[in-house]
Structure 1
């Protein structure tokens, strides 16, 4: 007999995200600080070859992960990775995944709003950055508080602007590589200078995985928006397929252009820090092409990108906390499952905003804290991806074990189970290897900052398992019905 998990509940969120919103969010929703700001640091740290290797590896991994997510999210568009984990692993995994994903965005949103303050110094050097950061936070709270449709519309247009900017960057970059702009073809020159193409060996390349992972965070957001899509059966597969172009063209393509045009020894890149936004590699490429006003134009686009990423992050964090309040896994959090008449989880939005503001306060300690927040956020991102992959793998096994065929699913990716296995192995490798250089040098501070979330989440998992007498669901007892079938059966009772 199938186990009817407590995860399943009738949606109280509004399905107000149109298909075109989903498609645009999938293409450009979370492109922000990671690509526009930290990508230069990747080239500096590992050279053009090391940076490209890391980004290509992450890109291939993300394609595998999104293949898994698309299959499961189309079948069970709950709008929560915690629900997915609880449905196909156990309740303890579901609760821990919700906590982890919530913390991930509580750390990521402050990075983005802190970056807004830094960006604005380009135009207003004498104005304290925290003023602009607070204005940005207030703006994204307002967008999220109005309606899910306002969120979708805002993200649609901001993502559209980002995509146009990146396409322009790629065109200008390619023309500059061939000497049409800038006067002289650079060829493979920057791949042969100094210690290029690979700088710093294995440890530097592994460290770049951290920056690349941070840049790719939010790619999985389509799994959250599926819970508020007006037509998830059509929108999710389409959004997943478009993710391929986002990953290969926007991320790998952009980094390839940077690697050809900007030497890893560039003083601009070496001087790149959280206090010098004018050295964004996007800005440098436009400058080197001889285009006037490039710095100011790109700064404005980077500002839009970062606000957009923060907006998406606040949305994702709010929905994770809402899920914890709605799924009955913790009565203490039931309050956060409330929504307004428009379907806005106001309690969850309030706490997510307050905690994001509190973490933002840490940025006043200094730039080092800002960088450590990126490291912590990146690791939390890989843990979230690991849980998605494990849930997808178990869903696939349960589906087959219970006598079904993948052809019965509305949408399923080719090599679904293989992609899940690759995703699990890759996530485990990065989680362990991320602290390689710190462990090798016995840098206890960085080890603590990098891995602090691991023992915390293990405590959450086993404490929940012990207090609720929870067990991993046997494959034959996993409820593999679609969300539509489950909700219909609840209404018929």
Structure 2
């Protein structure tokens, strides 16, 4: 079964290990290092259940996505698949929504970077760091896909190594020493119990936890530049989900046993707080550097994802042809440039709402990603049936429990999106619903204009022939 290859011209240079580290780099960012403080403050120790449920949803999502991506390894990914198996309008909506999500997520990361840099330079305006780090990452992305992958690989290694080190250090403090008071498993049940805010707080924190997993779907976008998608994509997706789940649950459990949950917040990383409480010389500064690299790594991946999505839209004639042009090194530089607009938004929001810019940007950036995830679940329901009905090849990976687990994943995700309306993240739907309406109107207008152009071209050809 053929599908339009909206990634034509891109170079297939990404290996399985690079894909895995890119996905890890995207997901291990402010969602864990800074956003976890927000989740802990919402659910208390019950956040462990929140992240477990969030990981389960993502596991189902990756199962669906792996199967479809192996069948259609293009840079358009889930947008191209929605176009083919649902409706061209669905493909249009999901790609533009994912693009704006990544563009705004860049703003989330850059807002976090401004927070981290205050640790060392409290008197320097955040806009200075925004400009400096933006310039560096645009240069990395504009060089080549290999330069991007190398940067992401090593920055991801720093983050993974730091998390492993944090887990080992925490385990040693908890089980190998006895010199620290008020440290231990009792912190999980003291101060209001395991669920101090009840089921409601735990459920809302599931929604927040999903932000920590955003970015795992980037593997599907990179499939258009993967060397061997049949092998690389499913391996990378599976490894990413299981590693992330283990990292998140273990790190949060250790953190909560060392630091009482009431101490968590978003004015600084909970990881840094742990180091400060333990009085390890220089450790808090090192950890702040690590969470800084985490934010830079995620921002780097988001620049990649947004530029490739815009490139795909151009290939489908849903965006100006300029954004579909590649430089000599195979990079869509125009698409990359327009995808940096989220940084401008972040700079403005950071200036207007210095105390709440992170939570605000996080809320509005989540809609596009969660809408994309919902469409992935829906697309998979139609994909599997049509793939088998039309005699598609036997795929090396298949989502288990079809269609039941696909439906469960979609319903859980939809219910969490509805939950947002009754929380401080209401901004997500207040932004997202008008956004979808605006896109729908734009799609109808574009199709009408395209039909008129096609009619004029046919008339012109007919006149020439006659």
Aligned-pair CA distance for 1:416 = 4.7
After TM superposition, the structure 1 = structure 2 runs for residues 26-37 of structure 1, keeping only pairs within 5 Å, are 26-37=23-34
Pair 1:423-2:409 in alignment: yes
Give the corresponding residue for 2:252.
255
Give the corresponding residue for 2:84.
87
Which stretches in structure 2 are left out of the alignment for 5+ residues?
449-466
For 1:454 and 1:74, locate their aligned partners in 2 and report how far apart those are by CA, in whole Å.
31
For 1:218 and 1:48, locate their aligned partners in 2 and report how far apart those are by CA, in whole Å.
25
Pair 1:368-2:360 in alignment: no
For 1:222 and 1:73, locate their aligned partners in 2 and report how far apart those are by CA, in whole Å.
9
Pair 1:435-2:431 in alignment: no
Is the 8 Å Cα contact of residues 155 and 297 (structure 2) preserved in structure 1? yes
Give the corresponding residue for 1:310.
299
- Larger mean Cα displacement after TM superposition, 216-225 or 14-23: 14-23
Aligned-pair CA distance for 1:185 = 8.1
Give the corresponding residue for 2:324.
337
Aligned-pair CA distance for 1:319 = 1.0
Aligned-pair CA distance for 1:131 = 0.7
Q: 1:348 aligns with which of 316, 331, 335?
A: 335
Aligned-pair CA distance for 1:149 = 0.6
Is the 8 Å Cα contact of residues 7 and 74 (structure 2) preserved in structure 1? no
For 2:370 and 2:42, locate their aligned partners in 1 and report how far apart those are by CA, in whole Å.
21
Aligned-pair CA distance for 1:345 = 0.6
The root-mean-square deviation of aligned C-alpha atoms, in Å, is 2.2
Give the corresponding residue for 1:285.
274
Change (3 A) 1:185 1:373: closer
Aligned-pair CA distance for 1:355 = 4.2
Is the 8 Å Cα contact of residues 52 and 252 (structure 1) preserved in structure 2? yes
Aligned-pair CA distance for 1:42 = 1.4
Change (3 A) 1:12 1:401: same
Pair 1:327-2:316 in alignment: yes
Is the partner of 1:435 in helix, strand or coil?
helix
Give the corresponding residue for 1:56.
52
Is the 8 Å Cα contact of residues 85 and 93 (structure 1) preserved in structure 2? yes
Aligned-pair CA distance for 1:114 = 1.9
For 1:10 and 1:32, locate their aligned partners in 2 and report how far apart those are by CA, in whole Å.
27
For 1:21 and 1:467, locate their aligned partners in 2 and report how far apart those are by CA, in whole Å.
38
Is the 8 Å Cα contact of residues 54 and 207 (structure 2) preserved in structure 1? no
Is the 8 Å Cα contact of residues 45 and 188 (structure 2) preserved in structure 1? yes
Change (3 A) 1:181 1:250: farther
For 2:111 and 2:427, locate their aligned partners in 1 and report how far apart those are by CA, in whole Å.
23
The C-alpha deviation readout for 1:185-208, integer Å capped at 9, x for no partner, is: 844311222322112234423332
Is the partner of 1:382 in helix, strand or coil?
helix
After TM superposition, the structure 1 = structure 2 runs for residues 155-170 of structure 1, keeping only pairs within 5 Å, are 155-170=152-167
For 2:88 and 2:413, locate their aligned partners in 1 and report how far apart those are by CA, in whole Å.
22
After TM superposition, the structure 1 = structure 2 runs for residues 3-402 of structure 1, keeping only pairs within 5 Å, are 7-9=4-6, 11-49=8-46, 51-80=47-76, 81-180=78-177, 182-183=179-180, 186-266=183-263, 269=264, 272-273=265-266, 276-277=267-268, 280-328=269-317, 330=318, 332-366=319-353, 367-402=355-390
Which stretches in structure 1 are left out of the alignment for 5+ residues?
439-445, 470-493
Aligned residue pairs, count: 446
The C-alpha deviation readout for 1:257-294, integer Å capped at 9, x for no partner, is: 2222221223xx2xx33xx42xx221233344443211
For 2:7 and 2:105, locate their aligned partners in 1 and report how far apart those are by CA, in whole Å.
30
Aligned-pair CA distance for 1:379 = 2.8
Aligned-pair CA distance for 1:157 = 0.3
For 2:339 and 2:99, locate their aligned partners in 1 and report how far apart those are by CA, in whole Å.
8
Is the 8 Å Cα contact of residues 182 and 258 (structure 2) preserved in structure 1? no
Is the 8 Å Cα contact of residues 39 and 208 (structure 2) preserved in structure 1? yes
TM-score normalised by structure 2 residue count: 0.89
Is the 8 Å Cα contact of residues 144 and 151 (structure 1) preserved in structure 2? yes
Is the partner of 1:452 in helix, strand or coil?
helix
Is the 8 Å Cα contact of residues 380 and 406 (structure 2) preserved in structure 1? yes
- Larger mean Cα displacement after TM superposition, 111-120 or 195-204: 195-204
Is the partner of 2:398 in helix, strand or coil?
coil
- Larger mean Cα displacement after TM superposition, 233-242 or 409-418: 409-418
Change (3 A) 1:451 1:397: farther
Pair 1:457-2:457 in alignment: no
